[in-house]
Structure 1
Amino acid sequence: MSERIIREILLMILRVGAYDLKKISESLKISEEKIIEILDSAGISYYDLEKYDKIDLALKYLEFKGDPEKISEHLDWRDFEKFIEKIFRNYGYYVVRGLRSSPPLGFEIDLLATDVFKRRSYVIDCKHWRRSREKILKEVAEDLIERIRRLVKKCFRIKRIYPWIKESDHVIPIIITLRETETRKIFDKVIVAPIHLLKDLIENIDYYIDLLEIKPIKISCETLELEDFKQKDL
């Protein structure tokens, strides 16, 4: 069965809901019986669709060579974060979503993805914007660097909850947007990439770090003193 047809069915399910089989059939001009048959051939039982959330369907869509940007348009910003989180997890990263710390030096981070083998973490901002101006992206990049600075200062406590963080020697900030034309950098530390190039970025991260001359931010959870954390836990 054509991968294109499977992708179109999955998109329609996300758009109108799994239970409106009649509407999906009318929109795609495919009989309801045929839709059920096509889904079954793709390893998806129509009658078990309630077990799939939006992110599961989005990842299934990617399995059939779907466009991440197109599928992301049917996700809200929370789903967008979860979608990116699962992509990183599928590549073997340890991922924390919604990492928060209270004042002083409070911060909030969408995703913290750690590659323990390369001893590197990525602090990721997920921007589900249809359009993004360069000025705003620069402000986001500056804010992201500041949040990383605060994260580093609280690294000692963070590693108690997420012990793999101590395996990181460096942190690299990444902004993932809904629409960008290419993978590029802002300043000399922040990578900006569109969702449709995320898999390419993950698979070729060392290449992009060299190409863009990214300067990773050093981190050491072992050298910080306990006195730095007297006031509040995370």
Structure 2
Amino acid sequence: MNASLLLKAIPAITERNLSIDEFAAASGLGRHIAADVIKFLATNEIGHIDSNTVAFDATDKMRASILALQMGADAEDISQLLHWKDFELLATHVLDANGYLTYHEFRLKKPRMEIDVVGIKEQMALLIDCKHWKRSSPSVLENFAAKQVDRARAFLTANNDVKYAVPVILTLHAESTLFAENVPVVPIIKFRSFLSEMSGYLDDITVIRV
């Protein structure tokens, strides 16, 4: 399967049931190629085929984007096909699957702030800022990191049940986990492994404590 075909297919992946003809029309692919793409997606656990229709869920567009990224598609091209909600929904889904209590678009009143995704487990909160657009310079990442640290402090002040808060930036573009002001900048394709290995990072990253 060619990554360029997946790029064409991504806009057609929406949370609904589609016939092959509808998928072909939405993606601009020929019917036979569209059917092959649907089968390829299904073999990668993206979408569910039932007779002559395919059903996608809310995270499938983002998961197809990650698959295209792994196959060599350009991250800038992929980011133009995604809505920020796609990114946040997948982050929430991964946290859920790893036993975190999750909150999406968490709002604080004083000071007025919004956190893209919050995951809480064993009195520790991960505060996720999702950045799916273009690559950022080190100075811009440092600015994002500083703001996320501020959000982590505010969240911890407002939530007595949480003892630790870890600010994290989640991105589409990086190939490995980086650090900006000791805040981890984690590529979405590494997010699951970051969660499983996070205990090894705690001495080296910013952890806000009560």
CA distance in 2, matches of 1:75, 1:172: 26
Q: CA deviation at 1:8?
A: 7.4
RMSD: 3.3
Q: CA deviation at 1:31?
A: 5.1
Listed as ranges, the matches of 1:99-178 within 5 Å are 99-102=106-109, 104-116=110-122, 119-156=123-160, 166=161, 168-178=162-172
Listed as ranges, the matches of 1:18-97 within 5 Å are 19-21=22-24, 23-25=28-30, 30=32, 44-45=48-49, 47-49=52-54, 51-59=55-63, 67=70, 73=79, 74-97=81-104
2:198 to 199, 205, 209: 205
CA distance in 2, matches of 1:32, 1:181: 29
**Contact 1:125/1:174 (<8 A) preserved:** yes
1:15 to 2, 7, 11: 11
**Contact 2:153/2:165 (<8 A) preserved:** no
CA distance in 2, matches of 1:58, 1:197: 14
The TM-score with structure 1 as length reference comes to 0.67
CA distance in 1, matches of 2:120, 2:71: 22
**Contact 1:172/1:216 (<8 A) preserved:** yes
Provide, for residues 114-151 of structure 1, a one-character-per-residue CA deviation record: whole Å limited to 9, x for no partner: 123xx321001001122101111111111111112221
Percent identity over the alignment is 22
**Contact 1:69/1:195 (<8 A) preserved:** no
3-state SS, counterpart of residue 148 of structure 1: helix
CA distance in 2, matches of 1:56, 1:121: 26
Q: CA deviation at 1:203?
A: 2.0
Structure with more of its chain in strand, by fraction: 2
Q: How many residues are aligned here?
A: 194
- Say if 1:187 and 1:89 are closer, same or farther in 2 by CA, change over 3 A: same
1:228 maps to: none
Q: CA deviation at 1:57?
A: 4.5
- Say if 1:84 and 1:187 are closer, same or farther in 2 by CA, change over 3 A: same
CA distance in 1, matches of 2:24, 2:39: 13
Greater RCO structure (CA 8 Å; 6+ sep): 1
- Say if 1:55 and 1:172 are closer, same or farther in 2 by CA, change over 3 A: same
Structure with more of its chain in helix, by fraction: 1
The TM-score with structure 2 as length reference comes to 0.74
- Unmatched 5+ residue regions in structure 1? 157-165, 220-234
- Say if 1:130 and 1:149 are closer, same or farther in 2 by CA, change over 3 A: same
